[in-house]
Amino acid sequence: MDIYLVRHTSLNADKAVCYGQSEVHLASTFLQEASDTVKLIPDRHNAVFVASPLRRCVQLAEYLSRRPPMTDKRILDLNFGDWELKRWEDIDQIALDEWTRNAVNSSCPNGESYKDLFNRSVEFFDDLTSKNQKSAVIVTHASVIRCMLMYVLSIPFERSFDMRIAYGSVSKIKIEDSTVSIDFINRI
């Protein structure tokens, strides 16, 4: 099974705003970025497509597959709870510092921790791989891609933040005879 992990394309969003699971607009460069991304998935015509339900992922999946993809909430970005759509500078600094020191285990108020995100991402990955598809394209967020790669490569949580996952990039996992390998990470 070939699994392509695709990050959505660039956003037209203020980097000073915490947006996680909120809807934000894609950048005006979407068509160019999407046409570059499509070249990185040679066997997409026979692939199963699954996207995060957020429009930024669904739109890219539709472009890549030329049909509506399945969606799955387990591959949504991190839920920042009460911090969603707030400016980082407007979030209580003490709470933000506490969360930053231990984002793996701490959740934002009414949100989730990185470990929660990891658990739902892995549940999705295990479900996907149990279905024995030939090829799958997963259009999602950098944090979810990091979690899946961290799971496959047995990378510690703290080291996963070192992985760069660019907008519109593709990472490829290959599963063959119960052997899991990585063909490439963050190809753009």
Predicted pLDDT of residue 26: 95
Angle at 44 between CA 40 and CA 48, to 5 degrees: 130
Asked if 137 and 4 touch (Cβ cutoff 8 Å), the reply is: yes
Q: What is the pLDDT of residue 145?
A: 98
pLDDT of residue 127: 96
- All structural domains of the chain, each given as residue ranges with its CATH number in brackets, are 2-15+23-81+113-187 (3.40.50.1240)
Q: In the chain, which residues have pLDDT < 70?
A: none
Q: Cβ–Cβ contacts within 10 Å for residue 114, how many?
A: 22
pLDDT for position 178: 83
